[in-house]
Amino acid sequence: MLVGLGPGSHAHLSARARAAIAEADTVIGYVTYIRLVADLLEGKEVIRKSMTEELDRAVEAFERARQGKRVALISSGDAGVYGMAGPTFEVLFQAGWTPESDIEVEIIPGASAINTCAALVGAPLTHDFCAISLSDLLTPWPVIARRLEAVAFSDFVVALYNPKSGRRTRQIVEARRLFLRHRSPDTPVAIVKSAYRPKQRIEFTTLEKMTECDIGMLSTVLIGNSSTFIRHGLMVTPRGYANKYDVDSGTAHEGEKPGRSLSSGLTGWLAGIHASGLGAAELARIHRLPEDYIAALLAEPLESPEPLSEAAGEEAGA
């Protein structure tokens, strides 16, 4: 059983995760995670491993399972998010294991730091978001930098995992530098340390000032998109209703219809670029999209607008 413990408090440990630990003969995990559930481990074989012994943990779990033991391999947050699920499958596949073999694998999801840290600061993930780990222990820096650059450019809300450690202090400085190429220095940033644990700490800052804050191994850094704001101590990313509706009256703006794509949605936007009379190069610059993509769209005949009857089935507010 690959068990995600959630952030660390028992209140946020799922019922299935708790049951999995109760069912287990053997519990294997990083020392800190074992400590988080220490009171649930009475009478069990407990194997504590250090941070760098990930593969050992997986091998040990496989060996115990082969002996007929029920094994819980525990991760904080979700076991599949920068956790033990991947390395475990690698070890299993290497040993010739298949899902049909007599060792059963169950993955038990847990709330990941991106979710729990977001919940503590408000509603920062209401629009598109992604996670990037700043750990270069197993990932080359150019790969990390390229992803930072891409999400900064494309205006995602981003959660930075593993932002800083005793030895890795410059990665967050470089992340800030890449973000400032595309984002305003006032972009809201929240730093959440030890979410739902006794030493929990929340700090609001800006992209400009974030590197002056206390950031460590147990912090997650949430960087807002260009619409994210902080009000009354809450970090909020609007979903986009303001594009379509008057927020006070709830009525749709002129040219916009409830239940239909925005006038600047795919269909409306396509009609617009065709009607504009502008060339692909100019449109590419305005919309910050590749010129060959725009050129391909302009070369295709415009489809007739979607029939009215289809609108009824659309998701509310989409």
**Is residue 8 at the binding interface for ligand SAH, with CB under 6 A as the rule?**
yes
Binding residue for ligand SAH, selected from 30, 33, 62, 82, defined by CB under 6 A: 82
Alpha carbon 34 to its chain's center:
24
Shortest distance in whole angstroms from residue 64 CB to ligand SAH: 22
What residue is closest to ligand SAH based on CB? 77
User: How many Cα atoms are found within 13 Å in the side-chain-facing hemisphere of 310?
Assistant: 5
User: Tell me, what amino acid is at 214?
Assistant: D
Binding-site size, ligand SAH (CB under 6 A): 23
- Kindly state the helix (H) or strand (E) to which residue 283 belongs, with its residue range: helix 280-287
Near ligand SAH in 249-288, by CB under 6 A: none
What residues contact 242, with CB distance under 8 A and at least 6 apart?
Answer: none
**Is residue 158 at the binding interface for ligand SAH, with CB under 6 A as the rule?**
no
* Smaller CB separation from ligand SAH, 83 or 224: 83
Radius of gyration of the chain (CA): 24
Binding residue for ligand SAH, selected from 217, 252, 271, 297, defined by CB under 6 A: 217
* Smaller CB separation from ligand SAH, 113 or 157: 113
Binding residue for ligand SAH, selected from 33, 37, 83, 91, defined by CB under 6 A: 83
Shortest distance in whole angstroms from residue 171 CB to ligand SAH: 11
Report yes or no: 70 and 25 within 8 Å, Cβ to Cβ: yes
Near ligand SAH in 38-77, by CB under 6 A: 75-77
CA atoms 91, 96, 99, 101: torsion sign: negative
Shortest distance in whole angstroms from residue 313 CB to ligand SAH: 35
Shortest distance in whole angstroms from residue 111 CB to ligand SAH: 8
**Is residue 218 at the binding interface for ligand SAH, with CB under 6 A as the rule?**
yes
Q: Which of 248, 257, 219, 243 is nearest to 134 (CA)?
A: 219
**Is residue 88 at the binding interface for ligand SAH, with CB under 6 A as the rule?**
no
188-193/201-206 β-pairing: antiparallel
Near ligand SAH in 222-241, by CB under 6 A: none
The residues pairing with 30 across neighbouring beta strands, listed in sequence order, are 49
- Kindly state the helix (H) or strand (E) to which residue 16 belongs, with its residue range: helix 15-23
Burial 57-89 (b: 16+ CB within 10 A, else e): bbbbbbebbeeeeebbbbbbbbbbbbbbbebbb
Report yes or no: 221 and 171 within 8 Å, Cβ to Cβ: no
Piece of 38-46, 79-87, 262-270, 278-286 that binds ligand SAH (CB under 6 A): 79-87
* Smaller CB separation from ligand SAH, 54 or 78: 78
* Smaller CB separation from ligand SAH, 18 or 197: 197
**Is residue 81 at the binding interface for ligand SAH, with CB under 6 A as the rule?**
yes
* Smaller CB separation from ligand SAH, 216 or 317: 216
The pair of structure tokens assigned to 228 is 């994210």
Near ligand SAH in 165-194, by CB under 6 A: 192, 194
Report yes or no: 180 and 172 within 8 Å, Cβ to Cβ: no
Binding residue for ligand SAH, selected from 36, 118, 195, 230, defined by CB under 6 A: 195
188-193/122-123 β-pairing: unpaired
234-236/122-123 β-pairing: parallel
* Smaller CB separation from ligand SAH, 220 or 294: 220
The contact set with ligand SAH (CB under 6 A) reads: 7-8, 75-78, 81-83, 112-113, 117, 161-162, 192, 194-197, 217-220
